[in-house]
Structure 1
Amino acid sequence: MEMDGFNENSWWTLPENFDDPLVTFIDEAQEEHIFGHEDLHLRSIELHSNTLIQLERWFTASGQTRVTVVGPIRAKRWLMDMIRCVGSQNVYHQARGQLMLHLVRNQPLINADFNASFSMLAYICGLICHISFAF
């Protein structure tokens, strides 16, 4: 999903990209880690993922930030996967999340990035399902 530039095929011109925004909640430390101090990396993450990200700080009583993402479905899911992995307690998932975060901060995502992420997710889900059915 490479950037189309400013034309009629740009992601923001397609109404379906604004359907079903994905929403998650993160704590202040995770927000700063992902988006940077004073949201330094927010714009590059949006540009490189072809999404629009809204951060609503202190949305909950516990001080969490609500993160709302709109854009193409594969990009939204990829970003949510990255956010979950970065915040995971599992060292493998954290490392994967860090690689994803570095990628989206530094270059536009392409179809190969989405495919790699989803094939890994399918592998993990398949492994979990296989283990569950083995018992």
Structure 2
Amino acid sequence: MEMDGVNENAWWTLPENFDAPLVTFIDEAQEKHIFGHEDLHLRSIELHSHTLIQLERWFTASGQTRVTVVGPLRAKQWLMDMIWSVGSQQAYHQARGQAMLYHVWNQPLTNADLDASFSILAYICGLILDIIFGF
């Protein structure tokens, strides 16, 4: 996912990257785990994923934080996959989410990262369809 910060085609100059923001809700513990105490990791996640992330704490009556992500579609999907995986109750998904989290904390996402996440999501969706419809 090579995006040049001085390029006229930088992700933030393309209006379509601000269409349909992805929104999810997470609890305080998951927020601190992902974004760090006092949002220590928020900026590196944004830089490495080519997105903007808005956190609205205590947005709901249950005390959850609303997370809104804008940016390129595949990057938004990758981040939502990571957030979902980190919060999963299944050990495999948690471990995968943790690996994704460490990755985006420390280095920019590549097209290969985005492709890998998409293919796993497609696989999971296929499994769900098999279970529901018996394909």
Q: CA deviation at 1:5?
A: 2.0
CA deviations 1:74-104 (Å, max 9, x no partner) are 0001101100110011111111100110111
Query: Which runs of structure 2 are paired with 1:41-80 in the superposition (5 Å)?
Result: 41-80=41-80
Partner of 2:107: 107
Amino acid at match of 2:60: T
Amino acid at match of 1:132: I
TM-score, normalised to structure 1, is 0.96
**Could you tell me how far apart the structure 1 residues matched to 2:82 and 2:107 are?**
15
**Could you tell me how far apart the structure 2 residues matched to 1:98 and 1:77 are?**
16
Instruction: Describe the SS at the equivalent of 1:7.
Output: coil
Deviating beyond 6 angstroms after TM superposition, the runs of 4 or more aligned structure 1 residues are none
CA RMSD of aligned residues (A): 1.2
Partner of 1:9: 9
Identity across aligned pairs (percent)? 83
Q: CA deviation at 1:131?
A: 3.1
Q: CA deviation at 1:124?
A: 1.6
The answer for unaligned runs of 5 or more in structure 2 is none
Instruction: Describe the SS at the equivalent of 2:54.
Output: strand
The answer for unaligned runs of 5 or more in structure 1 is none
CA deviations 1:28-79 (Å, max 9, x no partner) are 0000000000000000000000000000001011111000000000000110
Instruction: Describe the SS at the equivalent of 1:109.
Output: coil
Q: CA deviation at 1:127?
A: 2.0
Partner of 2:119: 119
TM-score, normalised to structure 2, is 0.96
